[in-house]
Structure 1
């Protein structure tokens, strides 16, 4: 191998590298038994921190689910608010001219 051969070596195309990386990611997702993304526990924790800045919440009254629907993932976050918080949400929604807030 001459020195010129070393510099002429072709680099893998970025599309090929991207395809290989995507295949690895897809294989990891399929191998996961629950189907939940790796980031879900941290995302749940961060969302709860943000919500708790504005309202006291009971962690037992919070549920986070990820559902797959065809080629889309849906993140569902349910938080049960106290009655006083519901009233505040309704008042804010009516001031903003938003649609009525669903009652639990």
Structure 2
């Protein structure tokens, strides 16, 4: 009867499976935040303060990522500067 199973309609995902998927995403996101050093948010705020001395940018315009590899850590800084006309 395996071939007939192919023609059966797939039922909609249950709310329990949707909730489980969402919880897995949240847990994965929190784990990545837990691996970051404690000083990273403070460093981001200090970098924003220095940039604001010269250019008007918002907190959402500065993105900081820390990537760890086997023997090296890379700090990536992205700043979206406003356009001047």
2:46 aligns with 46
- 1:6-59 per-residue CA deviation (whole Å, 9 max, x = no partner) reads xxxxxxxxxxxxxxxxxxxxxxxxxxx431011111111111110111100022
Q: Kindly indicate whether residue 77 of structure 2 is the aligned counterpart of residue 77 of structure 1.
A: yes
Gaps of 5+ in 1: 1-32, 88-104
**Which has the higher Rg, Structure 1 or Structure 2?**
1
1:1-104 equivalent positions in 2, closer than 5 A: 33=31, 34-84=34-84
Q: Is the partner of 2:38 in helix, strand or coil?
A: coil
TM-score by length of 1: 0.46
Structure 1 outlier segments of 4+, above 4 Å: none
Higher relative contact order (CA 8 A, sep 6+): 2
Aligned residues: 53
Report the aligned-residue RMSD: 1.6
Distance (Å, rounded) in 2 between the aligned partners of 1:50 and 1:62: 12
Distance (Å, rounded) in 2 between the aligned partners of 1:60 and 1:44: 11
